[in-house]
Amino acid sequence: MRKLYAIFLSLLLLLTYCSQPKQQPGQVSVRLASEPHTLNPANYNDMAAMQILNLVFQSLLGPDLEDAQLKPILAKSLPLIEQKDSVTYITYEIREEARWTDGSPVTSDDVAFTLKVLKAPLLQNEQIKPQVAFIQDLVIDKDNNRKFTFVCNRFTPEMELLSGDFFILPAYLFDPEDLLASIPVAALTDSLSKLENNENLKAFAARFNTPDYNNNGKILQGSAGYLLQEWVPGQSIVLTRKENWWGNNTSASNLTANPSRIVLHVIPENTTALLALKARQLDVLSDIPALEFDELKTNKDFLEDFNLHTPDSYALVYAGINSRLAKFADKKTRQAIAHLIDVPNIIKVTQQSYAVPSVGIVPPSVKEYYNTGLKPYTYNTGAAAQLLQQAGWQQRTNGWFRTANGKEEQLTITVTYKAGSTMLETTALIFQASAAKINIPVQVEAQESSLFSKNSRNHSFEIFFRTLTGNPFNFNFEPILHTSFAETGGTNYTGFGNAKTDALIEAINHATDKGQKAKLLKDFQKVMLEEATFLTLYYQKERLAINKRFSNTKVSGLKPNYDISAFLLQK
């Protein structure tokens, strides 16, 4: 009965989409799997909101999906970065052409205002506040109101990206009464308790925290090429292109606003989304389930109108082995376990082959940094047994045993994963079956999300399978692999590392020459593979369909996997 209801609901929703007015020639229709909670650029927390906000607001820097390179957006160029003792100075200049919706220029004052909004107490900004915590002050150039310098604490390699990766807000729309003008950015760096009684800040917060700053298109206007025209909760969000948008007057290929109208349909169910795609009510659909994607590849009628794409993503699946435990302290034992993880079979079963094996944490698609001289561990029970013997384990009819500190112990393994993930559950079960072939008992345990996270931080696990998403702009592995994060509560869950690997991570972080960084990263991948503590299994591939009536789609492994603002209607 429940299945029949689901089919009925899908057909009902499809009829709703089919009954809508015919698409305009310059319109692009895409699917939102979930509705954003808010379109407040200082408080969003989901991918749907980010996709929409990138069409309405702009940051100083951003990725160009065409070549996965970090490029200037509002900024005139990439920033100048200077390090002096424990302080880092990051200097930007805003493009002369950059304008707000009312035609007024984007200036350093708007950047300063944005920082105040992101750092101030009382405001609904907790999601993004940590991202800008390293910026202590902003100094505006006395002779050029489009030029400014961030004064930052210490230096980390992601500072360039983070310093330019937040949406700049128009002070004239968000603070028409100049309530925050008298509060300097530096005052928001230390203790904020004194400011909580500031009358101007209290008045600003009272207005900023209202629903108008979540969904009102008259307030939520940025410097990008689109305006929020309509938001019908549970149904759709409509954006329209600005007339005479300033980005059209630049030569920058990453500044685009080509479609005249963008409609984002809220369709939670994959079945309904696929029906809408096949009915040509959607022009774009990403995150297509693998089985359905394979079916589309054989649908000749569908392929007449759509292109299918499988770009390499930056999302990986890995196995973490708790090297703090005595039974996993010897790297030969961990290497043996690596030989029991049947990665090709796992990819085939869980990803329907839409994934790429990897030797380590650097994506194979980042060719300049990936170590092609290494080979992933192969599934080999014989090699696993040999390594276990070298580590001191002895095989008996009922398992593997060894004596340590006068006590005999059996090699047993408990594998955990986050409950609700069929992919990780299947991965764990395949590993369980592989280990059983050489008589190693494996218990598989699904854990509720908060418990799984708690146990990871407290290092209360043996082996886990989990996912991790990165990007091609930052290779700072310190939070997850440096020993300074290996204490209880830290994010180095597996206990990886020593003084040499710490020095290697720090050298990678400070390398400015690409050739030097490449060598260091390749050396690090070699060490990680040998230590077999953090075992990268594979990087996933994305699966999406785009209507052939559009070109210049900039398909990419970076979310949302296409640049809708760049779409050009085929002639």
**pLDDT score at 6:** 38
Reply yes or no on whether the pLDDT at 20 is more than 70: no
**pLDDT score at 22:** 54
H-assigned helices in 245-401: 270-278, 290-297, 300-303, 331-338, 343-351, 381-390
Q: How far apart are CA 293 and CA 287, in angstroms?
A: 9
CA neighbor of 74 nearest in space, from 113, 118, 120, 110: 110
Reply yes or no on whether the pLDDT at 298 is more than 60: yes
Residue 9 φ/ψ, nearest 5 degrees: -65, -40
| pLDDT class of 5 with cuts at 50, 70, 90 | very low
Question: Mean of the per-residue pLDDT values for the chain?
Answer: 93
**pLDDT score at 11:** 42
Q: CATH assignment of 24-53+224-311+544-569, given 3.40.190.10, 3.10.20.90, 3.40.50.300, 2.60.120.560?
A: 3.40.190.10
Q: How far apart are CA 74 and CA 98, in angstroms?
A: 7
CATH of domain 313-541: 3.10.105.10
**pLDDT score at 157:** 77
pLDDT tens-place string over residues 528-543? 999 999 999 999 999 9
What Cα–Cα distance (Å) separates residue 148 from each residue in 90, 107, 346, 494, 504? 8, 9, 51, 42, 34
Give pTM, 2 decimals: 0.88
| pLDDT class of 23 with cuts at 50, 70, 90 | low
pLDDT tens-place string over residues 309-338? 999 999 999 999 999 999 999 999 999 999
pLDDT tens-place string over residues 230-285? 999 999 999 999 999 999 999 999 999 999 999 999 999 999 999 999 999 999 99
**pLDDT score at 510:** 86
Q: What is the dihedral angle through the alpha carbons of 39, 45, 47, 48, rounded to the nearest 10 degrees?
A: -30
| Domain boundaries of the chain, sorted by first residue | 24-53+224-311+544-569, 58-215, 313-541
Q: How far apart are CA 243 and CA 260, in angstroms?
A: 10
| pLDDT class of 194 with cuts at 50, 70, 90 | confident
Reply yes or no on whether the pLDDT at 13 is more than 70: no
Compute how many other C-beta atoms are within 10 angstroms of the C-beta atom of residue 207. 15
Q: CATH assignment of 58-215, given 3.30.2320.30, 3.40.309.10, 3.90.76.10, 3.90.79.10?
A: 3.90.76.10
**pLDDT score at 24:** 65
Reply yes or no on whether the pLDDT at 17 is more than 90: no
Which DSSP string corresponds to 139-167?
EE-TT-TTEEEEEEES--TTHHHHHT-SP
Reply yes or no on whether the pLDDT at 229 is more than 60: yes
**pLDDT score at 21:** 46
| pLDDT class of 371 with cuts at 50, 70, 90 | very high
| pLDDT class of 152 with cuts at 50, 70, 90 | very high
**pLDDT score at 189:** 84
Helix (H, G, I), strand (E, B) or coil at 299: coil
pLDDT tens-place string over residues 78-136? 999 999 989 999 999 999 999 999 999 999 999 999 999 999 999 998 888 889 999 99
